[in-house]
Amino acid sequence: MSEATSTLAVLPSEQEETTVGNYFVSNYPPFSLWTSDRVGEALDQLDRPGKAGTQLGMYVHIPFCRKRCDFCYFRVYTDKNSKDIANYLDAMIAEAEQLARKPFTQGRKLQFCYFGGGTPSYLSEAQLTRLFSGLRKAFPWDDAQEITFECEPGTLTEKKVHAIRGLGVTRLSLGVENFDDGILEANNRAHRSKEVYRAYQWARDAGYPQINIDLIAGMVGETEENWRRCIEETIKLSPDGITVYQMEVPYNTTIYRDMKARGNGAAPVADWPTKRRWVKEAFESLEANGYTIGSAYTAVKDPANTKFIYRDSLWTGADMLAVGVSSFGHLARVHYQNEVHMEPYIEAVQQGRLPALRALGITDEEEMIRQFVLQIKLGRLSAEPFRRRFGVDVIERWDGILKTYEKAGYLSVRNGEIELTRDGLLQVDRLLNAFFLPEHQGIRYT
C-alpha cells in the first residue's frame, strides 16, 4: 500500500460561490477514468462465479420524465412515445435475462433493487407491471431486503401508488425538493406542492414500510424563509426518512448551459456556506423532533427499523448489476456503465450483447479507498473492519490528514474510530479528495 497520501495533509481551500462541477462523491476512482477499452474487464467478470457471501443488488434506470429539471445531470428523455417506452422495457427485461444466465449471478439472489431515474413513476401501471414481471422472472426478489422506487409526486395517482406497493416496493422515495410552487417552477420541476401532499397521503394509506422525502438546499430562488418552511412542512408530514442534498451544478445541466451563455462563473444558487448552514439548521430541527442523523445527507425517524440497504450495501462492497441506459454497476472490483444513449443501448441488447460502454477494474488498494471515502460519509467509521478485510490500519495510513482535519474541527479520532463533527459532516465531500491516490487528486470527477 502506498503511503504517499499520508503526506498530503493539506486543508482544501474554502469555496464560497457555487461554481460548475461535481461536488458529491458517489464512487471511486473518479468516473472520468472509466474507459471503453476496459469494458472487457466487466464482461470477463460476469463470466466468473461471484464471490460467496457478497451481497448482490440491481440498479434499474427509468429515463423518462415529464420535464427536465434545470439542475438534472442524469440521462433523461421527455419526448418518448408509448412505442419507444415499450421497446425500452423489452430491452431492460432482455438485458436482465442475459445477466441472469451469467456465471457471476448463478445461485445468487438479489438483496436489494433500486429503481431510479429519470422518473420511474412516469410509467403507467400496465408498463410497471410488465417491467416488474419480466425482471422478477429473471431475478426473483422474494427474499430481497429492500426494493426502492423513486417518484415524482405529479406522476402519481391513488391507484398507481397502491399498484406500486402491490408490486413489492418497500421503500418509496418522493422527490419533493421544495414545497414552494414558485421555486419549483423556477427550477423547471414538473410537480407542484398540492401534488406532494396528496401523493404522500396515498403512500401512507397504501402501507409502505418506508417513505422517504428528498429536499434540496440552495435551489434557484431559495430564501431563508422558504427553507425554514420546507423543514416545517417536512416535519409535519413525518416521513420515515429524509434526504437533504446541497445544490450543485454539474456540467451537463441547463443551469450550466445558461451560465456559459452569460459568461458567468458563479451559479445562480446559494453559496456553499449558506447551503451548509441551511442543512445544519434542518438537521437540528429534525433532531429536536425525534429524528437521528444517519449520514451527511439523511435523517431517519427510527434507526432500528428504517434502513437504506441500497446505500449501506453498496458502500461496503456489494455487487450491483446495472440494468438500463446509462446505468452504473459494480462487479467484484470492476466498475462499469451502460451505453448512455437509448438507441445504441437497445441495439446492443437486441443483438444479444451486454450494453456496457465503459469500465474500470480496480486494485485492492483502490477498493479499500473507495469503501473508506464512502463509509466516512455516514459520520462514523471503525478502523477494525478495514484491518480485517484489507490488512490496513486506515488511521495509521492517513495519520497526517486525519490530524489536520481534527485540528480544523472536522473530526475526532478515538479508540480506533473516526467520528466527524457536524461541521465536518456537512462538507465531507470536499474533504474526501485528500484520501484519494495522488494520481486521482485534482482531476475531473465525471
In a domain, 176, yes or no: yes
pLDDT at residue 1 above 70? Answer: no
Tell me the average pLDDT of the chain: 94
Do 423 and 410 contact (CB within 8 A), yes or no?
yes
- Statement to judge: residues 94 and 22 lie in one domain: no
pLDDT at residue 336 above 60? Answer: yes
In a domain, 334, yes or no: no
Last residue of a domain, one of 271, 297, 313: 313
Do 377 and 295 contact (CB within 8 A), yes or no?
yes
In a domain, 322, yes or no: no
pLDDT tens, residue by residue, 184-220: 999 999 999 999 999 999 999 999 999 999 999 999 9
In a domain, 320, yes or no: no
The C-alpha cell that represents 31 in the structure block: 468516473
Give me the CATH number covering residue 143: 3.80.30.20
Q: Number of structural domains, the chain?
A: 2
pLDDT at residue 307 above 50? Answer: yes
Q: Decide which of 319 and 269 is more confident.
A: 319
387 CB burial (10 A radius; 0-12, 13-18, 19+): middle
- Statement to judge: residues 3 and 137 lie in one domain: no
CA dihedral over 95, 97, 100, 103, signed as positive or negative? negative
pLDDT of amino acid 328: 97
In a domain, 415, yes or no: yes
pLDDT tens, residue by residue, 101-135: 999 999 999 999 999 999 999 999 999 999 999 99
Closest alpha carbon to 382 in 366, 369, 393, 368: 393
pLDDT at residue 332 above 80? Answer: yes
- Statement to judge: residues 377 and 303 lie in one domain: no
What is the spatial distance between Cα 438 and Cα 442, in angstroms, rounded to a whole number?
Answer: 9
In a domain, 352, yes or no: no
- Statement to judge: residues 20 and 73 lie in one domain: no
- Statement to judge: residues 127 and 170 lie in one domain: yes
pLDDT tens, residue by residue, 365-387: 999 999 999 999 999 999 999 99
Span 75-100, average pLDDT? 97
Last residue of a domain, one of 251, 281, 313: 313
The β-bridge partners of 249 are 20, 21
Span 235-242, average pLDDT? 98
Read off the pLDDT band of 10 (50, 70, 90).
low
Q: What percent of the chain has pLDDT over 90?
A: 87
- Here the contacts of 341-349 (C-beta below 8 Å, separation 24 or greater) are 341/75, 342/63, 342/77, 342/80, 342/84, 342/88, 345/91, 346/87, 346/88, 346/91, 349/91, 349/94, 349/95, 349/98
Span 346-354, average pLDDT? 97
Do 321 and 60 contact (CB within 8 A), yes or no?
no
- Statement to judge: residues 304 and 157 lie in one domain: yes
- Statement to judge: residues 388 and 287 lie in one domain: no
By residue range, what is the domain housing residue 161? Answer: 31-313
Give me the CATH number covering residue 430: 1.10.10.920
- Statement to judge: residues 111 and 229 lie in one domain: yes
What is the spatial distance between Cα 362 and Cα 366, in angstroms, rounded to a whole number?
Answer: 6
Last residue of a domain, one of 313, 334, 353: 313
pLDDT at residue 344 above 80? Answer: yes
- Statement to judge: residues 153 and 255 lie in one domain: yes
In a domain, 298, yes or no: yes
pLDDT of amino acid 7: 40
Secondary structure of residue 103 in the 3-state scheme: helix
At what angle are helices 158-166 and 193-206 packed, to 10 degrees? 40
pLDDT at residue 8 above 60? Answer: no
In a domain, 223, yes or no: yes
pLDDT of amino acid 22: 82
- Statement to judge: residues 69 and 23 lie in one domain: no
- Statement to judge: residues 64 and 149 lie in one domain: yes
pLDDT of amino acid 389: 96
Task: Looking at 167-307, list the stretches that DSSP marks H as alpha helix, in order from N- to C-terminal side.
Answer: 181-186, 193-206, 224-237, 254-262, 272-288
- Statement to judge: residues 380 and 301 lie in one domain: no
Closest alpha carbon to 190 in 151, 149, 156, 154: 154
pLDDT of amino acid 20: 82
pLDDT of amino acid 127: 98
pTM to 2 decimal places: 0.95
